[in-house]
Structure 1
Amino acid sequence: MATFDPFSARDTFSAPQGELGIYRLSKLEDAGLTNVGALPYSIRVLLESVLRNCDGYVVSEDDVKNLASWADTKGTAPVEVPFTPARVVLQDFTGVPCVVDLAAMRSAMQRLGGDPGKINPLVPVDLVIDHSVQVDEYLGDMALLHNIEREFERNGERYEFLRWGQKAFDNFRVVPPGTGIVHQVNLEYLAKCVFIREDQKGPVALPDSLVGTDSHTTMIDGLGVVGWGVGGIEAEGVMLGQPIYMLTPEVVGMKLTGKLPAGATATDLVLMVTEILRKQKVVGKFVEFFGSGVSHMSLADRATIANMSPEYGATMGFFPVDDVTLDYLRQTGRTADEVSLVERYCKENLLFHSDRAPEPSFTKVVELDLGDVVPSLAGPKRPQDRIPLTSMKPQWETDLSHVYEKSQGAPAGRWEGEGGGVADPSGAAVASPAISDPGFEGVHVTNAGQNFTVEHGSVVIAAITSCTNTSNPSVMIAAGLLAKKAAEAGLTAKPWVKTSIAPGSRVVTDYYAKSGLDDELAKVGFYTVGYGCTTCIGNSGPLPTPISEAIREHDLVVAGVLSGNRNFEGRINPDVKANYLASPPLVVAYALAGTVDIDFHTTPIAGGADHGNQVFLEDIWPTNEEVQAVVKACVLPEMFQEQYDDVWNKNPMWNAIATSEGELFEWNASSTYVQEPPFLQSITPEVKPIEPITGARCMAVLGDSTTTDHISPAGAIAKDSPAGRFLMDAGVEPRDFNSYGARRGNDRIMTRGTFANIRIRNHLAPGTEGGVTKYLPTGEVMPIYDAAMKYQADGTPLVVLAGAEYGTGSSRDWAAKGTFLLGVRAVLATSFERIHRSNLVMMGVLPLEFEPGVTYQSLGLTGEEIFDIPDLSDDLKPLQTIAVKAGDKTFNMKVRIDTPVELDYYRHGGILAFVLRKLLKG
């Protein structure tokens, strides 16, 4: 903590914990530097951070003054802000590489003659193991146990490594497997809203704030805690004492009025918010919610909206601390003293919102009447493509017809013409695999002794999954009540539907058990399969073999319905082309119906003229009053207290893991899970000069909305892929491949899987789908990894050509790390998503942006040119315009290195080298 206090802001206040320090924002108002009441609450939290950390060196007086004057420009004249979060949160997929890199830094420090013990997190770090469980088994009471057993079998090496890290590093805690989803555990337990730390003058209170290695870290914004997702390498910088350098954000205020109508859920609300804000182009901005509708909204509903900030493109969606926040803290088992500290500190420091408070000034205001929200889904492959439930059947028919049009060479439609670089630069359709005749009536399948027909639109996955909704008791209980009424009507999930519930924490199981709704869900086919991220991140597990074979042999377009936040193509399951986001009760409803080709308002779920009594969705849909009665009676503070009491040691399988001791990790050359990455193996004590890029070839030409899910390895590892062949050569059987996410600690696997998504379209190899490219010296089409290795052997640097919004999505760190290890030196794009652009810089990859109105298509670039970027030198400046030569064309591009600190990262070859050299010399 800083002792330099140029604004005399440090003061004290009384709390149950005693006399505590406080850096008062009002002191800046007294000095005439700001009107705190005009600042959005999210900006106030950032301002407190720079004020408290102002030391005249890392954080200057000008940094404080610049942010204090936010209301004058409303973020439209951005300046650099060094933000120091209070903590870091990791999940195991993205967290393992962070710990691997810390271990690699210790090894490198020893090789350079330094002290490996200097490498430790300098701020508190919590890692929650939640991404490793897969839905292998899904029917029956033993599904949960068997899935957990398989989880430990698959992830033994990773878990041994994390156990070592838990012992070896200071300031680092691990929440064991089987506890819950990181964002829900964060919301229900880890977050405190206000922390107490020490500075040279004693204990000091400060707002809880964080960054996390998962884009849905933003869920915590619903609790009044500033936090957002960053790449693993960015998080490592914070862990090692580096601030997050960001440009002053614009803050869009979203005014919510009214209340949700009967039948509408928080999920329906967030899908509408996502649709509206995506159209408002809030990418890279803060969104702060206010208005009378917020005051009457539950904390869980707020968290649902905040969770999906990445889907509407915002850095975060923030709700300030208020009385509803305090009530939630009490409901989730926080102590009376903790709650009192939050209330007193936030009121003392102008961070507590009340209806009497003046409305802050925003860059822009968007309004929504909650009464306009209707039941909805979103899909078939993007979360912002909302479909009112009443329009679902005609929209499905339209989407399906576009698949047929595409297969016949007609212009691409909504289905495949958007996202993932699918659209051809010329605008012509890209041929896709042959699809069955539209008149095709389905495929007869026998599975587990049952005979049925699978056809276009059949729902083969129905999953209550993802922290977005499992953290919200109202929608989870609504799903249980719908299941209860369905069971009473004699309904059950169709036999071709793979059903699952993956609660975000064990508290959900407690209130399901108390209400008896766990049994009701089981009656219709929904059993708990694990505690963690499952279907939403691609851990849906394989479909039953007969169903999978029918889908593949007959090119069936089948559907998944999930209560998640992401439905990008290729993400959920390789057999499922259409995926729809929906509320938990709608997930159950579609499992009962067995198809998305249904109008619930006119067609019964069951029964009919020849089948007895008709049962419509409205007949089994629970009322808001029914839901809230169960919430009040069954969601109790003692459940949270019991589940999180000594949570670090509650899993006996975790406690039994044996691991190595010592400050240096003992790398195992035969491990297929954890390897020392090459980033620092040849590092020198001194930095090398920035040099031009010459003679580069293009590795991939991609369209608009290429996501990090297309770039980064994710989901299942195909047997015939470069990564699959590597594993088989290492003696790993396909059944034990696990997922890319589980093997994120092994760069040999991850590099082979970069740009290998089964749905990516590389226009350098037209007519193909998946991770292939043309090796330009010979014209041979081959896997991207194989071509990249040939280019590296030739000494040829690589570039990528891309369209707008390059790098949207999740799976952040390896989208940049894998790009770097493939030999890509620069990415030339129309525009970049915020986190991925930053991560490219932090890996030493140069992001270049075309001038406004210019694209690679308008320049006539094909990707077969030879690229030269001659203006790169130690004189490079942030946001500089430089010339790029491609073949016989020369054009200008903006260097998207946005700040001086980012330039230092790039100069050093990445943030890991930058920090290591700094610690070596310090």
Structure 2
Amino acid sequence: MSTDKTPNTLSTLEAGGSTYHYYSLPKAAEAFGDIQRLPFTLKVLMENQLRYADDESVSGDDIQALVDWQKDARSTREIGYRPARVLMQDFTGVPGVVDLASMRDAVERLGDDPARINPLSPVDLVIDHSVMVDHFGDPSAFKDNVAIEMERNHERYEFLRWGQQAFDNFRVVPPGTGICHQVNLEYLGKTVWTKEEDGKTFAYPDTLVGTDSHTTMINGLGILGWGVGGIEAEAAMLGQPVSMLIPEVIGFKITGKLREGITATDLVLTVTQMLRKKGVVGKFVEFYGDGLKDMPVADRATIANMAPEYGATCGFFPVDDQTLDYMRLTGRDDAQIALVEAYAKEQGLWREPGHEPIYTDTLALDMGDVEASLAGPKRPQDRVALSDMKATFEKLMKDDAPDAPEEEQEKWQSEGGGQPKSEAVTDYGHGHYEHNDSQVCEIDGEKFKLHPGAVVIAAITSCTNTSNPSVMLAAGLLARKAIEKGLTTKPWVKTSLAPGSKVVTDYLAAGGVQDDLNALGFNLVGYGCTTCIGNSGPLPEAIEKAVNDGDLTVASVLSGNRNFEGRVHPLVKTNWLASPPLVVAYALAGNVRLDLTQEPLGKGKDGEPVYLKDIWPSQAEIAEAVEQVKTDMFRKEYAEVFDGDETWKSIKVPESKVYAWSKDSTYIQHPPFFEGMGKEPEPVEDVKNARVLAMLGDSVTTDHISPAGSIKPDSPAGRYLQEHGVEPKDFNSYGSRRGNHEVMMRGTFANVRIRNEMLDDVEGGYTRHVPSGEQMAIYDAAMKYAEDDTPLVVVAGKEYGTGSSRDWAAKGTRLLGVRAVIAESYERIHRSNLIGMGVLPLQFPEGEDRKSLGLTGDETFSIEGLNELEPGGSVKVTVKGDKGEQTLEARCRIDTANEMAYYRHGGILHYVLRNML
């Protein structure tokens, strides 16, 4: 739009037989300065500012700041960014819809029309996080898992069906369709968005924020999007700008080609390691270089997907011929493709050969240097070359070995002691990996030994790889070759195949490899996120018993993007990210204590050893198989994407503006966030004599903080559910119960692998209640403090809140009574979420931390001047303990004026609600 300070840049273009209106970047450059070498991502932000310029929320100075960014390749300017749309998955989407429903109640209580609460931006919610791998390795696994999913989640699905009819601008993709990021890539994304207004069709870049950190996958299609907390996404859908500093942009130059036998997964694990080492938290990453010319969108999306793992806000690939090719393949209509090409070229958003924008910093990779890789055992950036896997695991075992002279340790690691020799125990050729805690197991009448390093889960899962036909078909081809050689999956391996869309099933069948995968146990278990998010389901009882009895360090190998501690399965201590064909290979080998570049996977039907190189498909074979992926497959599977099956359609809900909450529901409860809220905010009270709820180390993830995975019967959440008549077999997961704050607050800080430094050698969600000195669950301690009106703080190390954009990591923190977190540094999304829930993020002064200050957790913390806070300012923190009194000048990590407004209102939703009224 045109304002007093912003020139009129409204223009028109013709594409596909239609006329489109748009805000012209070349015209803006005439007024503000040359932008030829501005990074593509910042051009997208600049167009957004042009379109919303009103001299209030967006000014000409904001646009000028983006142009001037080129001088220093950085900026301190804060802008308000309005994405075109919002993407949700059901774990994070359900609490979002719960909050909207709760806001409607609050509006009604304050005497206004609840129907005023609606998304103002288009919202798509894809139900993809609820299917669990209960059944596996048989033809009926998919049908059985879906039936269990619908039964388990009936209350949640009923609620979402209500939301589907109650809210405008809100669509739901039913369960059993696919993973939100793959559905977004294959169907929802348009690259250029359009909107009808005043009889004109406006065109502008397709942009979004999503309630899942892997929203970045869509960057592979030239669409700027990233993950935000559910709280921030709700504000965006209600018309609030996303407040952000103009980011630094790191250029990643790609040259060369992948060598024979190297996959896109190997490439992304290499990129992730390089960028984590570089340090790109809070920054945009933009890929450029002539290596992009032949890189298909599927490979780009694989790399873009893992932006959270390398720490960046996004990992963007500009529009070019590969973008158009992918849009054609996936069935986008010709008019849309013509618009994308014309708009991108007109706006300078089209990648030209040799073009190198100005970047804050750069790094480069020749793809010819990439080698076969995995990542683990508990961080996605810890890449391990395939040839180093054996040595890496051996070192893990040695580090975990009991204290003893070296020669005894060597004997302990090499002997099979502790288990009697028996003719009835099948020898799988891994005897030299025996350990004194190797355990005899029996499954289906067959006895065998389970050794440390055993692969107990092999899962082809996650949006990262299941969106990529080349690696999926490579897995199928490897399975075929393995069967021809006479190899079989080891009996202790839980195998699963969870594609990101039904199209994958179509092309695996067309390529003739689904039967081969089935023969090795990789039957379809569901369409959605499974193992990667902790929905791996139970291990067979015999395996769980053996792992527990021997305290075995066993492994999962999964084609996912997340392998944090306690995430995949509570009994599996080491988790390795790998390409789909390597997942199949490790299922055949059965143990990660092998060098698959040198040692055999097993013996073939002729009695001879079979090596990985013997069954690895060639690039030519994979390319031939990829030819089976046809446009008709995409058009067929997405023709009725919002309809759902008969079970979904049969869910009946009342038509009403406000939701009829049920006190008996253990899935959906009315949250307390708006209780007692007035039309004006109260002054922010200082924190006086707060106690430490937990003192945590470095790289504490949102998986450690937020309730995730299975619910233990003896945990506070497990006790609550049993008190409400739910048997442990029906607990479902924390993620599925995100609409019930009573469950979620009890599961906050309850991860089985979290380590509270207030306790010695204790793992799990426990703390020391001060002053009683009693050890108890963190939730129980928080409630005891609440009885005494004692405020709480959390003390932490570096990179606090790494990982998924889990809004309950912040919501649960708030409900437990935590007023502030004091850490050495923060990951972007969690810091934002804390502010969005009215929790103050503070940063230790440079050179000081919990260790240098000698903190034990017994201290009290007082924080002054909270009603006079300034963004990025200093905050006086007084710490009293056995060592006397210490005063810190902590840094306020509320970084922008908008964030400060949210904090003063008690949270972002309170701010939005008051503004709407």
TM-score (norm 1): 0.95
Distance in 1 between residues matched to 2:377 and 2:491, nearest whole Å:
22
Letter of the 2:618 counterpart: T
Secondary structure of the residue aligned to 1:342 is helix
Structure-2 residue corresponding to 1:487: 483
Instruction: Kindly report which structure 2 residues correspond to 1:545-624, keeping only aligned pairs within 5 A, or say none.
Output: 545-607=541-603, 612-624=607-619
Contact 1:492 1:525 in 2 (8 A): no
Structure-1 residue corresponding to 2:59: 60
Structure-1 residue corresponding to 2:672: 678
| Aligned with residue 515 of structure 2, among 498, 519, 522 | 519
1:905 paired with 2:902, answer yes
Structure-2 residue corresponding to 1:876: 869
Query: How big is the shift at 1:732?
Result: 0.3
Structure-1 residue corresponding to 2:20: 20
Query: How big is the shift at 1:372?
Result: 0.5
Contact 2:228 2:805 in 1 (8 A): no
1:845-899 Cα deviation digits (max 9, x unpaired): 00000122211111112221111012222x2111111110011111110000001
Structure-2 residue corresponding to 1:155: 153
Larger deviation, residues 195-204 vs 899-908: 195-204
Letter of the 1:877 counterpart: E
Contact 1:220 1:227 in 2 (8 A): yes
Query: How big is the shift at 1:708?
Result: 0.4
Secondary structure of the residue aligned to 1:882 is strand
Query: How big is the shift at 1:64?
Result: 1.4
Distance in 2 between residues matched to 1:772 and 1:534, nearest whole Å:
28
Instruction: Kindly report which structure 2 residues correspond to 1:610-649, keeping only aligned pairs within 5 A, or say none.
Output: 612-632=607-627, 634-649=628-643
Query: How big is the shift at 1:744?
Result: 0.3
1:378 paired with 2:375, answer yes
- Closer, same or farther: CA 222–385 of 1 in aligned 2, 3 Å: same
| Aligned with residue 312 of structure 2, among 310, 314, 323 | 314
Letter of the 2:72 counterpart: T
Secondary structure of the residue aligned to 1:109 is helix
1:789 paired with 2:786, answer no
1:838 paired with 2:838, answer no
Contact 1:687 1:908 in 2 (8 A): yes
Counting aligned pairs with the same residue, the percent is 58
Letter of the 1:814 counterpart: W
Contact 2:434 2:451 in 1 (8 A): no
Contact 1:3 1:200 in 2 (8 A): no
1:544 paired with 2:537, answer no
Secondary structure of the residue aligned to 1:510 is helix
- Closer, same or farther: CA 200–545 of 1 in aligned 2, 3 Å: same
1:115-163 Cα deviation digits (max 9, x unpaired): 1111000000000000000000001110000000000010000000000
Query: How big is the shift at 1:408?
Result: 11
Secondary structure of the residue aligned to 1:249 is coil
Instruction: Kindly report which structure 2 residues correspond to 1:711-726, keeping only aligned pairs within 5 A, or say none.
Output: 711-726=705-720
Query: How big is the shift at 1:810?
Result: 1.0
| Aligned with residue 394 of structure 2, among 384, 397, 402 | 397
Contact 2:437 2:550 in 1 (8 A): no
Distance in 2 between residues matched to 1:546 and 1:441, nearest whole Å:
15
Distance in 1 between residues matched to 2:611 and 2:649, nearest whole Å:
49
Distance in 2 between residues matched to 1:156 and 1:172, nearest whole Å:
20
- Closer, same or farther: CA 341–804 of 1 in aligned 2, 3 Å: same
Distance in 2 between residues matched to 1:191 and 1:663, nearest whole Å:
30
Distance in 2 between residues matched to 1:440 and 1:810, nearest whole Å:
38
1:472 paired with 2:468, answer yes
Letter of the 1:593 counterpart: A
Query: How big is the shift at 1:405?
Result: 5.6
Secondary structure of the residue aligned to 1:758 is coil
Instruction: Kindly report which structure 2 residues correspond to 1:53-202, keeping only aligned pairs within 5 A, or say none.
Output: 53-75=52-74, 77-200=75-198, 202=200
Structure-2 residue corresponding to 1:334: 332
Distance in 1 between residues matched to 2:624 and 2:794, nearest whole Å:
55
Contact 2:487 2:603 in 1 (8 A): no
Query: How big is the shift at 1:703?
Result: 0.3
1:343-369 Cα deviation digits (max 9, x unpaired): 11111111111215x310000010101
| Aligned with residue 258 of structure 1, among 248, 252, 256 | 256
Letter of the 2:771 counterpart: P
Letter of the 2:890 counterpart: M
Unaligned runs of 5+ in 1: 410-436
Query: How big is the shift at 1:96?
Result: 0.5
1:32-56 Cα deviation digits (max 9, x unpaired): x232211010111011001111111
Distance in 2 between residues matched to 1:87 and 1:501, nearest whole Å:
31
Structure-2 residue corresponding to 1:505: 501
1:39-94 Cα deviation digits (max 9, x unpaired): 0101110110011111112112211111122211212x321011110000000000
Contact 1:63 1:81 in 2 (8 A): yes
Contact 1:233 1:911 in 2 (8 A): yes
1:765-802 Cα deviation digits (max 9, x unpaired): 22211000011020000000000001011000000000
Contact 1:131 1:533 in 2 (8 A): yes
- Closer, same or farther: CA 622–438 of 1 in aligned 2, 3 Å: closer
- Closer, same or farther: CA 201–3 of 1 in aligned 2, 3 Å: farther
Query: How big is the shift at 1:185?
Result: 0.3
TM-score (norm 2): 0.95
Distance in 2 between residues matched to 1:291 and 1:781, nearest whole Å:
56
Letter of the 2:887 counterpart: T
Distance in 1 between residues matched to 2:611 and 2:315, nearest whole Å:
36
Structure-1 residue corresponding to 2:415: none
Letter of the 2:243 counterpart: Y
Secondary structure of the residue aligned to 2:401 is helix
Letter of the 2:842 counterpart: L
Letter of the 2:272 counterpart: T
Letter of the 1:511 counterpart: Y
| Aligned with residue 738 of structure 1, among 713, 732, 736 | 732
Query: How big is the shift at 1:811?
Result: 4.8
Distance in 1 between residues matched to 2:203 and 2:322, nearest whole Å:
21
Runs of 4+ displaced beyond 6 Å: 1-5, 406-409
1:239-266 Cα deviation digits (max 9, x unpaired): 1000101011000000011000011000
- Closer, same or farther: CA 530–842 of 1 in aligned 2, 3 Å: same
Distance in 2 between residues matched to 1:201 and 1:864, nearest whole Å:
66
Distance in 1 between residues matched to 2:603 and 2:663, nearest whole Å:
61
1:346 paired with 2:341, answer no
1:467-516 Cα deviation digits (max 9, x unpaired): 00000000000000000000111111100000000000000000011111
Distance in 2 between residues matched to 1:280 and 1:534, nearest whole Å:
31
Distance in 2 between residues matched to 1:918 and 1:871, nearest whole Å:
26
Secondary structure of the residue aligned to 2:642 is helix
Query: How big is the shift at 1:2?
Result: 7.8
| Aligned with residue 749 of structure 2, among 738, 743, 755 | 755
1:545-576 Cα deviation digits (max 9, x unpaired): 11101101110000000000000010000110
Larger deviation, residues 362-371 vs 449-458: 449-458
Secondary structure of the residue aligned to 1:698 is strand
Secondary structure of the residue aligned to 1:254 is strand
Structure-2 residue corresponding to 1:226: 224
Contact 1:710 1:759 in 2 (8 A): yes
Unaligned runs of 5+ in 2: 407-432
Secondary structure of the residue aligned to 1:145 is helix
- Closer, same or farther: CA 682–906 of 1 in aligned 2, 3 Å: same
- Closer, same or farther: CA 900–641 of 1 in aligned 2, 3 Å: same
Query: How big is the shift at 1:656?
Result: 1.0
